[in-house]
Copies of this chain bind each other. A is one copy, B any other.
């Protein structure tokens, strides 16, 4: 049994999803863990981590559209407005989608289904550099 930790950075350029499956698979292989689990964690309050279909990009287009409609900018009752119109929605979108994912490891690889990819979901318009921490535990 061992515990392995690593981190990586993802530059973002606006509100949308960015696939990070490959970076996490590399960390899992580096760990040499065959049976166990990986926890992926984004260290910010205005970006999320999600698992989403990675085959047809149009599915992610509609996902982005849904969240833009569900959490509108400029809600008249917002009081936390000092950091711009996309700031408060970014925190709400992060809470709805989560900043942590745990995925089993089977036979030395993430137990993802055929169409599952891991994505950073950026909720701010301005460019950011996001840090993702990964913890792998197993044998």
Contact = CB atoms under 8 A, between A and B. Distances in A.
Interface string A85-110: 00010011011111111111110000
Q: Can you tell how many copies of this chain the complex includes?
A: 3
Contact of A91 (B36, B43, B53, B95): B53
A76 to B, nearest CB: 11
A116 B45 contact: yes
Contact of A135 (B3, B56, B94, B105): B105
- Interface size class for chain A? 35 or more
Contacts of A88: 59, 62
A138 B80 contact: no
A137 interface: yes
